[in-house]
Structure 1
Amino acid sequence: MLIWIIFALMTGAAIFALLWPLSHGRVAAFADTADATNLYRAQLGEIERDVARKLIGPAEAEAARAEAARRLLRASGNEAGPAGETESSLRRRRASSALALSCVPLLALLVYGAYGSPGNPDQPLAARLQADSSRQDFALALSRIETHLANNPSDAKGWSVIAPVYMRQGRYDDAATAFASAIRHGEAKPEMHAGLGEALTLAAGGVVTAAARESMVEALRLDPKNPRARFFLAIGKEQDGDMEGAIAALRALLADAEADAPWAQAVRQRLERLGAESAGSAIAALPAADRQAAIRAMVDGLAERLKAGGGTLPEWTRLIRSQAVLGDKAAARGALATARERLAQDAEAPAKLDALESELSLKETAP
């Protein structure tokens, strides 16, 4: 509500600014009646001199005197119309005032509707300024670095700084160019080669290309423990159809990982997916008589591992679904109850587990 009050006051101020000169301009222009009287006397003197020189006749002189008198009357405000105005000028002034009163608010509303945000909620000024300032500062800093690199293309350090920024922005082609420039001009470090390989992979839609593999291999030559290079080379094996090689590479990577490595969870999830796919392929190749037993053994193994502790929401979901498909609804209900306890801190888990319970018809009906 406050914003509309402010708009109304601003609109009123704008209209007043337009109407003030319209209502006072002519009075100011003719306020000095003494000057008008002096001018009238000068005109009369000029008429008398013209008569004396016989430049005009008596009739013309009388007409000129009458015209000069009418001008004096208009200037001093003695004719009809306020402040010495004629009827036509008064009509023009009134029309201008009406136009200002109608057009200014209408124009303001149209402009605000086109370029404003009337539907957005209020936001504190301090928060707005702080947010805008951070974005402006970042954009300005990035622009300065890009300008510097355009003028100094051999600055390897600058390229190594801007390359990760491009990666975070999703500008993978630009990131690959920056990593390559950093390497070319002296920053040929393992992380630069691994970064180049990742940028080339992401630019290709997740496909580990030949050029990306070359960069990863060079990164491992410089640092055999480089996790990023090892991870993407494992993905390359997976894309080549070497599932066993990909699984072995990911397991080795996890074995060398520190306990709090930020990328370890992503590796575990990919390894679990590959293991499930590999196991599924192996089970599908078994004779029909052995297939059910193999599936049961795999589900029981997953249940034992999750019962021992831990487990993610996708793992518990897979276990509950598998037990329900095998017809063991009692085990599925038990796993569901355990999952609710273990995942109590996961904000998404309760709703997803409830949906799974409903989908698999695991709710026990009262006798």
Structure 2
Amino acid sequence: MLIWIIFALMTGAAIFALLWPLGRGRALAFADVADARSLYRSQLGEIDRDLGRRLIGPAEAEAARAEAARRLLRASGDESGPEGETESSLRRRRASSALALSCVPLLALLVYGAYGSPGRPDEPLAARLQADSSRQDFALALARIETHLAANPTDGKGWSVVAPVYMRQGRYDDAATAFAQAIRHGEASAEAHAGLGEARTLAAGGVVTAAARTSFADALRMDAKNARARFFLAIGQEQDGDATGAAEALRTLLGEAPADAPWAQAVRQRLARLDAEKAGGLASLAPADQQAAIRAMVDGLAARLQAGGGSLPEWTRLIRSQVVLGDKAAAREALALARTRLAQDAAAAAALDALAEELALKETAP
């Protein structure tokens, strides 16, 4: 009922705005006529006073009265209305008023009937959102969180909330930044580190980079059973050419998975593909082709490690593979580079020395 009262008031205001200019001119004209008549009576009184004092004669008084009457007629027009008001103009003004009184409400009703919902009851916004949460403006909510984080960049909880959202939207660089901020500002957990590693991997097109491996290693230090970190590290092993090790890691992960683990199916599919490649891959190749395939995988690992990063197990795997392939020169170069990259890690340096001794590379190592 309240909405109709509001509509009636709005319609009345619109009609008043249209009729006001139409009626205002006539009101002003009547005011001018009243002033003219008052002046006419004043002039007649003054003529009578002059005649009584014998300042003018009867003929002059009559002429003055006629002149005053003519002035009154010029000011008031004729008896039909104000000056300039004719019968046709009066009809037009009345027709305009009637048109405004009828068309404005009718037009308002037609527009509301076409685009409004007259039969729908009032329902507050809070009730609509509570009844159907899917109608919430997700983009607006995300924008509010981002605005909050821009003003409060140390809110680790806020970063941990928005990071998975970025992941679902495919904004992997933003997700990596959000996970890193959450970890930096007090929300460090195994899942946060694993999420950071996954975001870095997906941002690199699915390549498990050195930075991603560091994040997964941090996750496993906090939770040795973290499935996400173990899964992506197995993918990293596969990318390094260690398909057997990757398959074994996935098989172990699958054996420890709960029966209702949502990620178990993805592990099964990856493991099945590895087994299929192993059965129909190197085993089906001629010895020369097998050697070429192994060399290609080793060269791929070498190229990735030379580009940056690399852990001690990765460098160890590369150096051993190069020695097995008979390329001791490349193994020595890899050993030297590994020592440079891991110079700050005393344990890694000692392990590299032991590896050089074992593989007979020590005599040429720097």
TM-score by length of 1: 0.53
CA drift at 1:260: 1.5
In structure 2, do the counterparts of structure 1 residues 207 and 102 end up closer, same or farther at CA, with 3 Å as the change threshold?
A: farther
Residues 172 and 202 in structure 2, CA contact (< 8 A), matched pair in contact too: yes
1:232 CA drift (Å) = 0.8
Would you say 1:63 and 2:67 are equivalent positions?
no
Match of 2:160, SS? helix
In structure 2, the partner of 1:229 is 229
Aligned counterpart for 1:86 among listed residues 90, 103, 125:
90
Q: In 1, are the aligned partners of 2:19 and 2:100 still within 8 Å (CA)?
A: no
Question: Helix, strand or coil: the match of 1:74?
Answer: coil
C-alpha distance in 2 between matches for 1:51 and 1:236:
119
Letter in 1 for 2:69: E
Runs (5+) with no aligned partner, structure 2: 1-5, 51-59, 288-366
Q: Distance in 2 between matches of 1:178 and 1:131?
A: 32
Query: What is the count of residue pairs matched by the alignment?
Result: 262
Residues in 1 aligned to 2:22 and 2:221: alpha-carbon distance in whole angstroms = 90
Q: What secondary structure sits across from 1:86 in the alignment?
A: helix
**Number of the residue aligned with 2:273:** 273
User: Within 1, Cα distance between the matches of 2:47 and 2:200?
Assistant: 102
Is 1:41 the counterpart of 2:37? The answer is yes
The change in CA–CA distance for 1:67 and 1:263 in structure 2 (over 3 A counts) is same
Q: Deviations over 1:316-354 (max 9, x none)?
A: xxxxxxxxxxxxxxxxxxxxxxxxxxxxxxxxxxxxxxx
- Distance of 2:47 and 2:274 partners within structure 1: 119
- Please name the residue that 2:248 is paired with: 248
- 1:194 is displaced (CA, Å) by 0.8
Query: Does the CA-based 8 Å contact 1:173-1:199 persist in structure 2?
Result: yes
Structure 1 equivalent of residue 160 of structure 2: 160
Q: How far does residue 165 in structure 1 lie from its aligned partner after superposition?
A: 3.2
Partner of residue 176, structure 2: 176
Unaligned runs of 5+ in 1: 1-9, 117-121, 288-367
Q: Quick one: distance in 2 between partners of 1:191 and 1:224?
A: 11
Matching residue's letter, 2:242: D
Cα deviation, residue 270, structure 1: 1.7
CA distance in 2, matches of 1:24, 1:222: 79
- Contact 2:129/2:136, CA 8 A, preserved across alignment: no
- The alpha carbon displacement at 1:197 in A equals 0.3
The separation in 2 between residues aligned to 1:253 and 1:67, in whole angstroms, is 109
C-alpha change, 1:208 and 1:144, in structure 2 (3 Å) is: same
Q: 1:244 to 1:59 in 2, by over 3 A?
A: farther
* TM-score when normalising by structure 2: 0.53
The residue that corresponds to 2:262 in the other structure is 262
Shift of 1:167: 2.4
Q: How does 1:100-249 map to 2 (within 5 A)?
A: 129-130=129-130, 136=136, 142=142, 145-249=145-249
Larger Rg belongs to:
2
From the superposition, tell whether residues 47 and 251 of structure 1 become closer, same or farther in structure 2 (CA, over 3 Å). farther
Pairwise CA distance, 1:277:
2.7
Shift of 1:174: 2.1
Check 1:16–1:188 CA distance in 2 against 1; reply closer, same or farther (3 A cut).
closer
CA contact (8 A) 2:22 2:97 kept: no
Q: Is the contact between residue 194 and residue 216 of structure 1 (CA under 8 Å) also seen in structure 2? A: yes
CA contact (8 A) 2:193 2:219 kept: yes
Separation (CA, whole Å) in 1 of partners of 2:266 and 2:174: 25
1:225 Cα offset (Å) = 1.8
Q: Identity rate of aligned residues, in percent?
A: 52
Which deviations, in whole Å up to 9, do the C-alpha atoms of 1:166-194 show, x marking residues without a partner?
A: 32343322221121122223433322211
| One-letter amino acid of the counterpart of residue 86, structure 1 | L
Amino acid at match of 2:163: A
CA contact (8 A) 2:44 2:65 kept: no
Indicate how the Cα distance of structure 1 residues 213 and 51 shifts in structure 2: closer, same or farther if over 3 A, else same.
farther
Deviation at 1:231, TM superposition (A): 0.7
State the shift of 1:272 in Å.
1.4
